[in-house]
Structure formats: structure tokens, C-alpha cells
Amino acid sequence: MTTPIRIGTRGSKLALWQANWVKAALQKDHPEIACELVIIKTKGDKILDVPLAKVGGKGLFVKEIEEALLNGRIDLAVHSMKDMPAEIPAGLCIGAVPAREQPQDALVTRSGGGLDTLPQGARVGTSSLRRSAQLRHHRPDIEICGLRGNLDTRLKKLETEALDAIVLAAAGLKRLGYGDRISAVLDEATMLPAVGQGALCVETRADDATIRPLMATIDDAATRTVVTAERAFLHRLEGGCQVPIAGHGRLTEDTLTLTGLVAGLDGQTMIRDQLEAAASEPHRAGIRLADRLLERGAKTLLEELQKDA
């Protein structure tokens, strides 16, 4: 293939790490191809002084890249799966889901201790409604402080904004070599991860007969199965950034275990459930779990949250 494959990505260090990982993986399996990165600035990159929940729903970090994919400016796009809206635009598809990095959230503290060691009234930085709701549920005394910016910026703000701790995805810290900054990995009973957290999404045009066959070598079947279930759960709940929704699946041989959660903003209301299903039916499992939560009160809670948004 003489024409380089153009890989669309955001320009942050983490986004570039992810895009370069996909580039290297493709070239390892297909040494005959050339790849080049095309950096695209998204709305989420441009608006840094407003909490994500107030800027808009999911898609803040992918829309402009998807537009470039649709109009042929790039050939494939690399995203963090947790940034992906539940619905993919017509004409595009998830071409590959590489093997997942650790999906849990990590606590980075000034003291080096875990959540229980934080002082009364500790200042904890996060702009995620999902994280703040679960933190408030376990530690109602905590003061949540808004935290935007790339990973380096957020780590610096731990010191410059007099925070006691910040919450970040463990995957991002590990990918950029900051694993030693993790004070504690938050267990899923305390902090259920975001749908797709720790996984990458390689998006392609659905009818691209040149690019789509290349995806098979970087697609991980187990990760795709679990992420499919999580995303079906999210889609059924019609969740976006304005709503505290969490979902995480695990695969053990032929059994998929899926856990989901919908929370009130204050963390007092927490509707959570888990189910086991056949690994061969991940989409159905996600819908079933969402329906169970909706029946247990999530429907009313989501309606209230959307009304207040």
C-alpha cells in the first residue's frame, strides 16, 4: 500500500500514545503499510474552563474526528472508548477494539494513602459526575472540586490548587508511565468504572474495503464482547456526560458478568445491579441489565437528572 493510512487523533499526550500504539500494532502485522497521524482539535479540547457536564453530552472528544472520517480526510480514528457516544454515526463503525488496559479508577493523593486515609472535608478533584457521585456516596464529607485538562495538567493541579487527591483512569496513568503516581486503585464496590474505560476504539468507515480487513489483527474478541455489553447498557439508558452512569463487564470462559449503576448527583441514591449471561449475547445482556435498573427506579432518577440538566 503506497498511500499512507491517515490516523485521526486528538493532540493530547495520551491520545497520541494511543494513536501511536495502533500505528505500531498495524505496522507490526502489516509491515508493508505506512501510517501517519492527523491531529484534530475537538470541542472538548477547546473548552477547558467549563465542566464537561455543562458543555454537552458524550461526543465532545470525537465529533470533529468522526466528521473527518466521514469526509475522507482520515482513514481511521483512534478514541478512548469511554468517550464514544452510545450511537455511532451512519456510515461509521467500530472497526477494532484492542485488548483492554486496567479499567478501574485510580486515586492520586498528596499523602500517598487511599480514600479512607483522606482527612475530613478533603478536597478531591474530578469533573466526572460518575466519579463525584460515587465519592459522595462513600465519603459524604468530601468536597468535590472541578478538574479539567489533560493528564499532566490534572496531576499538576493536585499541587497548585491545594487538592488532597484527584481521581483519574488507571489506564491513562499506566500508558503514560505514571503508574507510580497511583496511591490506590479504587475497587469496583467503591468506584464502578465508566463504560468502555481502559479500552480503545478504532473507528472506520463501514464500507471501506481497504481499511476494514486490516482491523482483524488488532481486534481483541474478549474485550469487544465485554465492551459491546457495556455500550448496549449505556445505549438503553440513553446516558451522556450529564448523568452518573457506570458499567463494567468481566468475561470468565463463556460467562459474562455485567455490573451497572445509575446514581443521583449527591450520591445518596445509588441504583446498582449485576447479572450473568452467555458471552455469546453481550448486547442482550446490556439491555437486560439496563431494564432491571430502570424498573428499580433508574427511570425516575434519569428523568429528574435530565430535567435539571
210 and 88 share one domain: yes
Residue 44 near residue 52 (C-beta atoms within 8 A):
yes
State residue 148's pLDDT score.
83
Q: Is residue 158 part of a domain?
A: yes
User: Do residues 257 and 144 touch, judged by C-beta distance below 8 A?
Assistant: no
Q: Is residue 192 part of a domain?
A: no
Shared domain check, 128 and 16: no
Comparison of pLDDT for 176 and 308, the residue scoring more:
176
Which residue among 83, 105, 164, 273 is the active-site one?
83
| Cα–Cα distance measured from residue 201 to residue 77, given in angstroms and rounded to the nearest whole number | 8
Q: Are strands 245-252 and 165-169 parallel, antiparallel or unpaired?
A: unpaired
Residue 46 lies in a domain: yes
What is the predicted pLDDT for the residue at 6?
A: 98
How far apart are alpha carbons 133 and 17 in whole angstroms? Answer: 30
- pLDDT(132) > 80: yes
Q: Are 156 and 289 contained in the same domain?
A: no
Assess whether pLDDT exceeds 80 at residue 301. yes
Instruction: Read off the CATH number of the domain in which 261 is found.
Output: 3.30.160.40
Q: How confident is the model at residue 143 (pLDDT cuts 50, 70, 90)?
A: very high
For residue 59, the 8-state DSSP code is: T
Give me the mean pLDDT over the 279-287 stretch.
98
Domain match, 69 and 127 both:
no
Residue 229 included in any domain: yes
pLDDT, tens digit, for every residue of 34-61?
999 999 998 776 666 565 555 555 677 8
Q: Do 130 and 80 share a domain, yes or no? A: no
Confirm whether 190 is domain-assigned. no
**What pLDDT was estimated at residue 241?**
56
* Residue range(s) defining the domain that contains residue 239: 221-309
Residues 44, 15 share a domain: yes
pLDDT at residue 80 above 90? yes
Rounded distance, CA 49 to CA 130, Å?
19
Residues 72 and 120 placed together within one structural domain of the fold:
no
Residues in contact with 156: Cβ distance below 8 Å, sequence separation at least 6, in sequence order: none
Residue 194 in domain: no
Residues 241, 306: contact at Cβ < 8 Å? no
Provide the mean pLDDT of the chain.
93
pLDDT of 1 higher than 90: no
Is this structure's pTM higher than 0.85?
yes
Residues 42 and 30 reside in one and the same domain: yes
* Residue 159 forms part of a structural domain: yes
CATH number at residue 169: 3.40.190.10
Average pLDDT rounded to a whole number, residues 67-85: 96
For residue 290, which phi and psi values (nearest 5 degrees)?
A: -60, -45
Among 185, 207, 234, the domain boundary falls at: 185
SS3 labels along 157-215? HHHHCCCCEEEEEHHHHHHCCCHHHCCEECCCCCCCCCCCCCCEEEEEECCCCCCHHHH
Concerning whether 187 is annotated as a catalytic residue, the answer is no
User: For the chain, what is the domain count?
Assistant: 3
Question: Do 94 and 130 reside in the same domain of the chain?
Answer: no
Judge if 135 and 228 occupy the same domain: no
Q: Are 74 and 117 in a shared domain? A: no
Which residues lie below 8 Å from residue 72, measured CB to CB, with a gap of 6+?
none
What's the mean pLDDT in 107-134? 95
Query: How confident is the model at residue 239, as a pLDDT?
Result: 63
Res 306: pLDDT: 76
Per cent of the chain over pLDDT 70 is 93
List b or e across 260-270, with b for residues whose CB sees 16 or more CB atoms inside 10 angstroms.
Answer: bbbbbbebebb
pLDDT tens for each residue of 215-263:
999 999 999 999 999 999 999 998 655 789 999 999 999 999 999 999 9
What does the pLDDT look like over 179-215, one tens digit per residue? 999 999 999 999 999 999 999 999 999 999 999 999 9
| Mean pLDDT (whole number) for 152-174 | 95
Does a structural domain hold residue 193?
A: no
Mean pLDDT of 97-116: 96
Same domain, 33 and 157: no
How many CB atoms lie under 10 A from the CB of residue 187?
A: 11
The x, y and z cell numbers of residue 178, run together, are 505514571
Edge-first strand listing for the sheet containing 143-145? 143-145, 123-125, 165-169, 105-109, 184-185
CA-nearest of 265, 248, 262, 272 to 299 is 262
Instruction: Check pLDDT > 60 for residue 175.
Output: yes
